[in-house]
Amino acid sequence: MSRIDEVFARLRAEKKKALMPFVTAGDPDLEFTAAVLRELAARGASLCELGIPYSDPIADGPVIQASYTRALEHKIKLAEILKMLAGVTPQVETPIVTMVSYAIVLRHGLQQYVDDARRAGAAGAIVPDLPVEEAGVLAKICRAADFSLVQLVTPTTPRDRALKIAESSTGFLYYVSVTGITGERTQLPQSLLDNVGWLRERTPLPICIGFGISTPDHVRHLAPVADGLIVGSAVVRRIAEAATKPRDAVLKDVGEYVATLIKALG
């Protein structure tokens, strides 16, 4: 079992759900990213998602795009991110998963990326722009390394294709809650519960819902059908305030916000 498999097995035994916050690596800098990851782990996040900045992100809304731009303006490198991660992972029990473009993985080398990310303590990778038809080689490498390869299903994914994506994925399946880009929303579509329920009956993989989740009400609404919930833009927006506010205060605000979402999971 991978580390992510172990987390979801424990949560299922305890009849609990996962809360997975998203953090952009290097915004405002890697030192603060490390502090945020430690804070989220201390607050009880089941997993953390670490975004690897990319100049042409897939499906990310304006908040996360802006955070990637800020990080890239500092000339941040993958090696620096992994070095930071290697310093954090021995200090936390919470598995950390990289959100990374396939272009970065391909340029780095598929086997090399998995080896280097594992060495840094990462538990897996979410690769949003990897078509299932082209996922075979990376999926094989990840399975051999007990390194989870997480892929995405969207509301417009045909059901036969969704099943192929589930078969290719490991760790968990990332279900995109809405058509469009990431970002905080006041409402989520009613069809979401039915679509996720259909998929859950056809795959043993845990299903985590992301995009648009930002409030305790969202969490309470989706928790019954999901194995976990992913919160990105609302966390990243709070972290961005570190550019103008005392960092200790921002860190506390991020931690308390995530704690309220964890509490809403019940």
Closest CA to 225 of 190, 186, 179: 190
Dist. CA 87–CA 130, nearest whole Å: 28
Residue type, 15: K
Question: What one-letter code names the amino acid at 94?
Answer: T
Q: How far apart are CA 250 and CA 263, in angstroms?
A: 20
Q: Strands, E, within the chain: which ranges? A: 18-24, 48-51, 96-99, 124-126, 148-150, 152-153, 173-176, 207-210, 228-231
Nearest alpha carbon to residue 123 among 1, 37, 6, 2: 2
Per-residue DSSP letters for 169-192?
A: --S-EEEE-SSS-----S---THH
* Positions marked catalytic: 49, 60
Which letter does DSSP use for residue 59 in this model?
S
With residue 71 as reference, give the H or E element that holds it: helix 62-73
Amino acid in position 86: A
Residue 216: both structure tokens together: 């305790």
Contacts of 139 (CB under 8 A, 6+ apart): 149, 168, 169, 170
Q: Where are the alpha helices (DSSP H) in 18-61?
A: 30-43
